Structure 1
Amino acid sequence: MNQKITKVLMVVATCLCIGYFSGIITRQSITDWYPTLEKPFFNPPNWIFAPVWTTLYILMGVAAGLVWNKMDSDRINVRKGLQFFAIQLGLNFLWSYLFFGLHNPLLALAELILLWLMIFETYVIFKRVDKFAGILMLPYLAWVSFAGILNAAIFWLNK
């Protein structure tokens, strides 16, 4: 298999694994705790989250794979971009633990602000290395922006 495709598939698989383990953390709370919370009128139905996150993990994995494939031509930006990518991926997982595992919307919201900043910085660097990779990060940035508003509303309604 082409080495470039292998890199993309490796990062996509890593992102999907992070999503899978995040799902394990959320599964119990989705049935026990989350239904007890007051939610804003714009709260999406639960079934929407799995396909949206799966799509986002695939898009961000492709983006990181495309950037990784530019290592020979822009080593400094590729390394920096992939470092930010790894940090935001870890923060992505941590948010699930804070919100659904610890049942702490306020702490999750504070962490989500840091996550958003890391995604934005990843986007900026990815765009510098590969414009298409940057574009692939935009739906993720938009969804996390929406998630931040939703998280803030849930905190506010349940404090």
Structure 2
Amino acid sequence: MQTLASKGQLRASFVRWALFLVPLVLLLGYVSGEFGGSDTPWFAALEKPAIYPPPAVFGIVWGVLFVTIGIAGALVGSAWGARGRLLALGAFAVHFMGPLAWTPVFFGLQEMQVALGIIAYSGASLVLVVALYWRVRRSAGILMLPYLAWVCFAGVLNYAFIVENPDGGPANPDGAVQRFELGES
């Protein structure tokens, strides 16, 4: 029996893919976060839904998820010769634009309804990515399931923020007031 690559070569391919994708996913997530964050006066003034977790949870969860997303991508990327490999990687690239856009839209532009549409797109496209990853490498599809669960939770949370803040949040969240002094005429 002839093989295209030894087990050692396949492991080395996975390591190379992981060393590329894990930092890339982390970097893209970081850059997205720099275009908007929860430390704005607008967000601080919003009514928080009951399901809103402590803020520290988000950094921890996203950090872990970004690593597992990179590892799942590396499993698919290193599956040389697997049917649907390039389609799965391409579908992930198209999908990942959604989650990366969500933070700047929700926090930066303060557009909760638009952000809800983005998170709906993210969830729907992620279902496709999970299915495609699963076909290439089952373990990659399994690694993406916590991410899918978190995106679904994020969608519910986004919707809950809209319900709690139907007017889109305070118009003047920093508390600045324009004062006029009336003089004698």
TM-score normalized by the length of structure 1: 0.93
Partner deviation per Cα, 1:46-103 (whole Å, 9 max, x = no partner): 11111100100111110011001113232xx111111111112111111111101100
1:94 to 86, 97, 101: 101
CA RMSD of aligned residues (A): 1.3
Question: Secondary structure, in 3 states, of the residue corresponding to 1:98?
Answer: helix
Q: Paired residue for 1:65?
A: 74
- Deviation, structure 1 residue 31: 3.6
**Mapping of 1:45-56 within 5 angstroms?**
45-56=54-65
Higher helix fraction (1 or 2): 1
Larger Rg: 2
1:44 aligns with 2:53: yes
1:6 aligns with 2:16: yes
C-alpha distance in 1 between matches for 2:56 and 2:156:
19
1:108 aligns with 2:115: yes
Question: Secondary structure, in 3 states, of the residue corresponding to 1:72?
Answer: coil
- Deviation, structure 1 residue 19: 1.2
C-alpha distance in 1 between matches for 2:39 and 2:162:
16
- Deviation, structure 1 residue 2: 2.2
| Counterpart contact for 1:12–1:57, Cα < 8 Å | yes
| Counterpart contact for 2:33–2:104, Cα < 8 Å | no
| Counterpart contact for 1:12–1:61, Cα < 8 Å | yes
Unpaired segments ≥5 residues, structure 2 = 1-10, 167-185
1:118 aligns with 2:125: yes
- Deviation, structure 1 residue 110: 0.8
Partner deviation per Cα, 1:26-51 (whole Å, 9 max, x = no partner): 33x42422111111111001111111
**Percent of aligned positions that are identical:** 35
| Counterpart contact for 1:15–1:89, Cα < 8 Å | no
Q: Paired residue for 1:141?
A: 148
1:153 to 137, 152, 160: 160
Unpaired segments ≥5 residues, structure 1 = none
C-alpha distance in 2 between matches for 1:31 and 1:156:
20
Q: Paired residue for 2:31?
A: 21
